[in-house]
Structure 1
Amino acid sequence: MHELGILMGAIETVEKFAKKNGVTDIQTLVLQIGELSAMIPKYIEDCYPAAVAGTLLQETELKIEILPGNAICQSCGKVFNLIANHDACLSCGSGDWEILCGKEFMIKEIVAC
């Protein structure tokens, strides 16, 4: 479960940002996780309470936004969702594509009180 280590790194980043900017009370942390990333949102949610215990984020709410795993077809130029279309272009059926987005793991927003 590599999610815990990565999540702890994100929490450390948020804490450093908060201290640098004089933020002492954080209400919500919003993370964006791509459909194609190695991160499993359910695991992030499950280990979040343990990861924030004893930190500035201990009382925060976690929100996760899932970003689509989109690709562009190299044959016809159409953009499509890889997961929904089983790795084949919806328009021409080609398997020759390039990923545009969906591998992200980002801190989107820190909501302070």
Structure 2
Amino acid sequence: MHELGVVFEVVKTVKNIAEENQLTKIDKLVLQIGELSSMIPRYIKECYPAAVDGTLLQDTKLEIEIIPGNALCKNCNKVFNLLENKGKCPHCGIKDWELLSGKEFMIKEIVAC
């Protein structure tokens, strides 16, 4: 489970941002995770309490937004979800596409009190 190491890095990054901006309390942290990324949102949520224990983020609410794995069909130029359509364009049936989104993992928002 590599999610724990990633969560520790997120905590370190947020702590640095808080220090740079002289924040003393953070209410909410919002992460965006692509549904095609190697991160599993459930594992991120499970690791989070251990990673923030004893830190500025200890009482922070974690919110995770899932970014869909969307692609653009190179044949018909339609956008479609790769997982829902098993990698095949539902409009023309072709498997020739360009990835638009879904691999992301980023800190979207840090909400201070």
TM beyond 0.5:
yes
Q: Residue by residue, what CA displacement relative to the aligned partner does 1:35-55 show, whole Å, maximum 9, x if unpaired?
A: 100000000001100011111
Letter of the 2:6 counterpart: I
Q: What is the alpha-carbon distance in structure 2 between the residues aligned to residue 106 and residue 78 of structure 1?
A: 26
Unaligned runs of 5+ in 2: none
Find runs of 4+ consecutive structure 1 residues off by over 3 angstroms: none
Q: What is the alpha-carbon distance in structure 2 between the residues aligned to residue 94 and residue 3 of structure 1?
A: 34
Per the alignment, residue 110 of structure 2 pairs with 110
Q: Give the paired residue count.
A: 113
Per the alignment, residue 63 of structure 1 pairs with 63
What is the identity percentage for the equivalent residue pairs of Structure 1 and Structure 2?
64
Unaligned runs of 5+ in 1: none
Q: What is the alpha-carbon distance in structure 1 between the residues aligned to residue 85 and residue 54 of structure 2?
A: 43
Residues 61-100 of structure 1: pairs in structure 2 closer than 5 A: 61-100=61-100
1:98 Cα deviation after fit: 1.1
Q: TM-score, normalised by structure 1?
A: 0.98
Q: TM-score, normalised by structure 2?
A: 0.98
When the two chains are superposed, the root-mean-square deviation of aligned CA atoms in Å is 0.6
